[in-house]
Amino acid sequence: MKLTTLPNPFMALLCLAVTALLSACGGTDTPDPTLYNKSGHFLKAHIFTSEKPGTQTRCVEPEGCIAYLRFEPDGSGTVILSDIANRVSYSVKNNVLTTTLIDSGDIPKTMKYEVLDKAQTLVAQGSGAMYYLKPEAVAVYRATGEIACEPNTGISLQQSAQMLTSPAEIMGAKPVVVESSYCGYLSNIARPAVCGIPTDKVYVHMIPQDQVAAALVLGFSRANETEASKVTPIACP
């Protein structure tokens, strides 16, 4: 029987078609190279919480509610239930993230989560509990209000943060979560060395990326986005 050798271009097209069919049917475990390495680990650390982005509602502690999941690029992770930090290993295959408990803890030995929306959401298999990717923190700033040569002028770091977390009655204003804060000055703003004018000192607050628009409504600006907005950290008074 004579065997016919298929042309190389035809074989390439055939292989592509088979690969696409396997992917559609869940028959391939090739991870998305924009999210994972070849071992199925995230390319950068991912933190998931039971708090939906843009809200300040916390997990209401139903049975088996996991409030915090962190996964590192080296395949290690942390899952927190109550007050215990459970060490786990993990990998993602066919859009399912599987954790394996290391040593002892208060979670099952193996847990599985459906990975949705390009790793924006995890859904626990069995319970259906949903966990959301924690937005990256973004720096916003506002002038301290200090006047040169006039001690005790301006507001405090805490008062500046409260302008975000507990905004006054401003049309369209929403509370903003402040993760951390520090003092600084605008690096590239030249001000004359004279008394009686505002200084270049600012307060910087790290907030969730999805709450920047709300901070802008409250009079804050993005830090380190342009040359004019670059901030050099300094010790707070």
- Domain of 112, CATH number, reads 2.40.128
Say how far apart CA 59 and CA 79 lie, in whole Å.
Answer: 14
Percent of the chain with pLDDT over 70: 78
Does residue 71 sit in the same domain as residue 158? Answer: no
Q: In this predicted structure, what is the pLDDT of residue 198?
A: 92
Does residue 194 sit in the same domain as residue 105? Answer: no
Whether the predicted pLDDT of 73 surpasses 50: yes
Chain segment 18-31, per-residue pLDDT in tens: 434 444 444 445 67
Q: In this predicted structure, what is the pLDDT of residue 171?
A: 61
The domain boundary, picked from 99, 133, 167, lies at 133
**84-98, 103-117, 159-173, 210-224 — which is least confidently predicted?**
159-173
Contact between 200 and 191 (Cβ < 8 Å): yes
**59-63, 98-102, 167-171 — which is least confidently predicted?**
59-63
Does residue 104 sit in the same domain as residue 146? Answer: no
**1-5, 34-38, 91-95, 207-211 — which is least confidently predicted?**
1-5
| Stretch 185-202: mean pLDDT | 87
The domain boundary, picked from 133, 149, 167, lies at 133
Mean pLDDT of the chain: 82
For residue 219 the two structure tokens come to 């009079």
Domain membership of residue 163 (yes or no) is yes
Say how far apart CA 43 and CA 173 lie, in whole Å.
Answer: 36
Domain membership of residue 19 (yes or no) is no
Domain membership of residue 151 (yes or no) is yes
Chain segment 103-154, per-residue pLDDT in tens: 989 899 999 999 999 999 999 998 888 899 987 889 999 999 999 999 889 9
Q: In this predicted structure, what is the pLDDT of residue 120?
A: 93
For residue 87 the two structure tokens come to 């060490």
Domain, as residue range, for 97: 29-133
Say how far apart CA 170 and CA 179 lie, in whole Å.
Answer: 22
Does residue 67 sit in the same domain as residue 161? Answer: no
For residue 96 the two structure tokens come to 């399912």
Does residue 44 sit in the same domain as residue 101? Answer: yes
Does residue 95 sit in the same domain as residue 161? Answer: no
Does residue 182 sit in the same domain as residue 126? Answer: no
Q: Residue 54: left (phi > 0), alpha (psi -120 to 50), or beta?
A: left
The domain boundary, picked from 133, 160, 177, lies at 133
Say how far apart CA 91 and CA 17 lie, in whole Å.
Answer: 27
